[in-house]
Amino acid sequence: MTQAYNKPLPVPQVESDVYWQKAKEHELWLRSCNACGGNAYFYPRDISPCCFSRDTEWVQASGKATLYTYAIVHRAPHPGFVADVPFVTAMVELDEGPIMATNIVIDDPTPENLVIGMPLEVVFEDATEDISIPKFKPV
Ligand SMILES: [Zn+2]
């Protein structure tokens, strides 16, 4: 696709800079809480949501997940998405445990093709030179 990206873009924050840098390299990284023995969590933030420890670190995720829940969007929420409908918004459960909001990349988004628990793997949409957005596709 050669036309300019016309959708709202994520704005990396201090605590998520690494996440977006790694996404640009087509790698999915999570934060992990050392105080809880390596409990991975999402979204990225310095203080763990499990025990509020600051003893946390970045870890690379496998990129594997399962479909937790989804919705098929038929009416574009923004002019930038008009060409995309119908598309799938979803929550996916990463193999590392966290559940994240994302899109499912699938040619024919119907309930028959979207099965809760189905295996998925991460893919990256290069939105701009600086931002690549993690999405998931059926394995
Ligand atoms: Zn913890």
- Measured CA to CA, the distance from residue 112 to residue 53 in angstroms comes to 42
Residue 96 Cα to ligand 1 middle (Å): 14
**What string of DSSP letters covers 49-60?**
TTT--S-EEEEE
pLDDT above 60 for 126: yes
Q: Which residues contact 25 (CB under 8 A, 6 or more apart)?
A: none
pLDDT above 60 for 2: no
Q: What is the average per-residue pLDDT within 89-110?
A: 97
Q: What is the pLDDT of residues 40-73, one digit of tens each?
A: 999 999 999 999 999 999 999 999 999 999 999 9
Residue 9 Cα to ligand 1 middle (Å): 30
Strands 132-138 and 119-126: antiparallel
pLDDT above 90 for 92: yes
Residue 88 Cα to ligand 1 middle (Å): 32
Residue 35 Cα to ligand 1 middle (Å): 5
Residue 15 Cα to ligand 1 middle (Å): 17
Indicate the pTM of the whole model: 0.92
Residue 55 Cα to ligand 1 middle (Å): 8
pLDDT at 53: 96
Q: Is 73 in contact with 104 (CB distance < 8 Å)?
A: no
